[in-house]
Amino acid sequence: MSRQASANEIACRRRIEAALIAALVILVAIGHWRVALHDADSSVVLVRRPRGVMGTDCVLAAVVAQRDATTAEAALDAAEVLLRQVEARMSNWLDVSEVSQLGAAAAGVLVPLSPDTLAVLTAARDAFDLTGQTFDVTCRPQVELWRRAGETAIIPDVSAVAEARAASRWEDLDLTDSGVVKRTSSASVDLGGIAKGYGIDLALRSMQRSGLRGGLVDVGGDVACFGQQPGGRPWLIAVRNPQRRGPIAQLRVGDRAVATSGDYARYFEIEGKRYSHIIDPRTGWPAEAARSATVVADTAIVADIWATALSVLGAEGLEGLPQGVEALVVHDRQGGQRLVCTPGFRTLFIGPPAEAIPAIPSRPP
Ligand code: AMP
Ligand code: MG
């Protein structure tokens, strides 16, 4: 059963080209559950794969004593509800989402927003400054311009890029305690680079509050975990190789989160050239500095923000990471790929990485 599930998992991953794989650890844990059936205090793991969460694959895992299996079921239910709620509020694709309503609103009108959406917007505004203005949720006009370019296979002209850049400004959004007032009707936000992380944190925290021994939330390859698997085993997270099949490395991250962004997962091609779905707000063009960026942080929202920002900044951004945030950047070099990571990221590897990975020499305190 576990071999078949593992094959399914791999097929799924290939389809959506998600960056991280949590399947291995979970399947090992399922095997353990089977041998622990007769002992009420032994840990078991319940795994759920709800469909259609945030438009991608989702894996939820809860570790409890055998006798508390119903607690785990309830914890998984609650986690799933929270993820779906975040999606309903923050999706770009649902007309009724708060983000879509904000985009459609006229200037000068207060658009009421839930505390969740306001919390994400506030974190995004802080991140704009922290990331040297490379993480910018106001860049929706640019994202849409390049999405159309992908559909028509025509590069936008200089004036269209300039216009989209001019329409992407935090100055056009006034955040209040209850919502947002736009200063121009064209202002809009895209929370695609941060909402998943926020949702993962909400889901994981609710699982922690349920008294589980361990838990894991994986949405499209962005993962957060706490505690341990049955048998005291740590959760292990595999980092996907953006260039070929198979992982670059396996990580032991403890009670932390991992997020990966890159141009290998979602991209479009025009005249044979590959363009990322991540925009460099400094130029208005798709980001080019990294094939992928994997970030480990205490929370999934921080990992999500920095994975997107490092896709814009490239390896040069590693030195500007805040304390407690570790990262690996993969970028193209002379026909091949080069990997570089922070010294702290090196300590997370289980066994040697598949390729030589230099660490940047030092980071400012
Ligand atoms: P992620 O996969 O977390 O890197 O998020 C990528 C998504 O974030 C894109 O599909 C856009 O919806 C949005 N996005 C694109 N560029 C940026 C940017 N520079 N800052 C913030 N969000 C962005
Ligand atoms: Mg992100």
| Contact 143 CB / ligand 1 (< 6 Å) | yes
Q: In this predicted structure, what is the pLDDT of residue 6? A: 41
Q: DSSP characters for 74-130? A: HHHHHHHHHHHHHHHHH-SS-TTSHHHHHHHPPTT-EEE--HHHHHHHHHHHHHHHH
CA of 284 to the centre of ligand 2 (A): 18
| Cα–Cα dist 346/177, whole Å | 41
Q: Which of 129, 135, 190 to mutate to test the pocket of ligand 1 (most atoms within 8 A of CB)?
A: 190
Q: Report the Cα 261 to chain-centroid distance in Å.
A: 7
Q: In this predicted structure, what is the pLDDT of residue 157? A: 96
Beta-ladder partners of 333: 336
CA of 305 to the centre of ligand 1 (A): 9
Question: Which run of H or E residues covers position 275?
Answer: strand 273-276
Q: In this predicted structure, what is the pLDDT of residue 337? A: 85
Spell out the SS3 assignment of 341-363. Answer: ECHHHHCCECCCCCCCCCECCCC
pTM: 0.89
Q: Which of 200, 302, 308, 312 to mutate to test the pocket of ligand 1 (most atoms within 8 A of CB)?
A: 308
Beta-ladder partners of 327: 295
* CA neighbours closer than 13 Å in the CB half-sphere of residue 272: 0
The residues of the chain scoring below 70 in pLDDT are 1-38, 265, 354, 361-365
Helix/strand/coil for 62: strand
| Cα–Cα dist 167/178, whole Å | 24
Distances (CA, A) of 37 to 42, 70, 235, 274: 8, 15, 21, 51
Six token digits for residue 132: 């040297």
Query: Looking up tokens 């951004």, which residue turns up?
Result: 317
| Contact 190 CB / ligand 1 (< 6 Å) | yes
Q: Atom 2 in ligand 1: which residue has the minimum CA distance?
A: 261
For the CA of 309, the nearest ligand: 1
Helix 69-90 to helix 195-209 angle, to the nearest 10 degrees? Answer: 160
Six token digits for residue 354: 């598949």
Distances (CA, A) of 54 to 23, 94, 200, 338: 19, 11, 11, 31
| Contact 161 CB / ligand 1 (< 6 Å) | no
Contacts of 52 (CB under 8 A, 6+ apart): none
| Contact 136 CB / ligand 1 (< 6 Å) | yes
Helix 23-35 to helix 2-16 angle, to the nearest 10 degrees? Answer: 160
Q: Tell which residue, 177, 206, 28, 190, has the closest CA to residue 97.
A: 190
Q: In this predicted structure, what is the pLDDT of residue 7? A: 41
> Residue 305 CB: number of other CB atoms within 10 A?
29
Q: DSSP characters for 238-274? A: EEEPSSSSSEEEEEE-SS-EEEEEETTTSEEEETTEE
Q: In this predicted structure, what is the pLDDT of residue 246? A: 79
Q: Report the Cα 229 to chain-centroid distance in Å.
A: 22
Amino acid letter for position 134:
T
Question: Which run of H or E residues covers position 141?
Answer: helix 140-152
Per-residue model confidence as pLDDT tens digits over 308-325:
999 999 999 999 999 999
Identify whether the C-beta of residue 344 lies closer than 8 Å to the C-beta of residue 252.
no
Identify whether the C-beta of residue 90 lies closer than 8 Å to the C-beta of residue 99.
yes
